[in-house]
Amino acid sequence: MASGHILGIINVDGALDITRLVLAAGLVYAGFIDQSERTSQVMLTVVGMLYLGIAVAGLISPTLGGLLPSGLTGFDIAFHIVTGGAALAMAVVQEKDLPHSSVQS
């Protein structure tokens, strides 16, 4: 599997590419196949947490401890912060719109 950077700014290491594909497949499943608001919220939360985790880990070690031989760039880290934050924001907005079970007396 190829590794390196596209145009010198975007990491294309196999492990990161596979992670992004799996997360994208999960979002497609939640949004278009399952179409449950709860599934969408959970998937957005998972994607947001993982992307923010990748960004933080990239700030500590650009190669993520050797997992990504060519290392994350500043663009990669910014991309993961923005998309992770957006996913978490959407999960929070969706949480406010979901009906909650309440006990009525």
The mean of the pLDDT values for the chain is: 87
pLDDT the model gives residue 41: 92
pLDDT the model gives residue 105: 45
The yes-or-no verdict on residue 4 having pLDDT over 50 is: yes
Q: What is the pLDDT of residues 11-54, one digit of tens each?
A: 888 888 899 999 999 999 998 999 888 999 999 999 999 999 99
HEC profile of 47-93 = HHHHHHHHHHHHHHCCCCCCCCCCCCCHHHHHHHHHHHHHHHHHHHH
**Arithmetic mean of pLDDT, 79-88:** 96
Domain ranges of the chain: 21-97
Looking at per-residue pLDDT, the higher value among 1 and 79 belongs to 79
